[in-house]
Amino acid sequence: MPVMENPKDINTIVLAYMGDAVYEQAVREHIIRKRPYDANWLHRTATAFVKAQAQAKIIKNMFDGLSEEEQRLVKRARNKKFTTKARNADPITYKWATAFEALVGYLYLAGETERLGQVIEEAIAIVEGGNDEQSG
């Protein structure tokens, strides 16, 4: 069941805002299962998953496997004009990372939980080294 009606109509920056939170929670749940007793390791590991460079790599690797609708959303988010400046990434990397977060946010708000799970599972595999098609 969708969290919101017509999430396609939401600004991609807002979708990315939601996607950031959803993806971060999924990453934290994933890594806590691996090593629940080491807060320093958890923080360092979570950062490796959620930094812009990792998210850009994720979306570039999975782009060809996305549905046409998902690809359109990613392109729309990637091409969005930004008023904020990326702090720890170049502008192109930041745009790709935002596009990944927008996809996650859209799937969450659309209530597409099965597809969301697939995307997050693939994202985690890419960061953990399961798919290294392209890095730039």
Which residue numbers are catalytic?
20
Which residue, chain included where needed, has tokens 């994202």? 123
- The whole-angstrom separation of Cα 101 and Cα 77 is 9
28-to-36, 42, 79, 81, 125 alpha-carbon distances in Å: 10, 8, 29, 30, 14
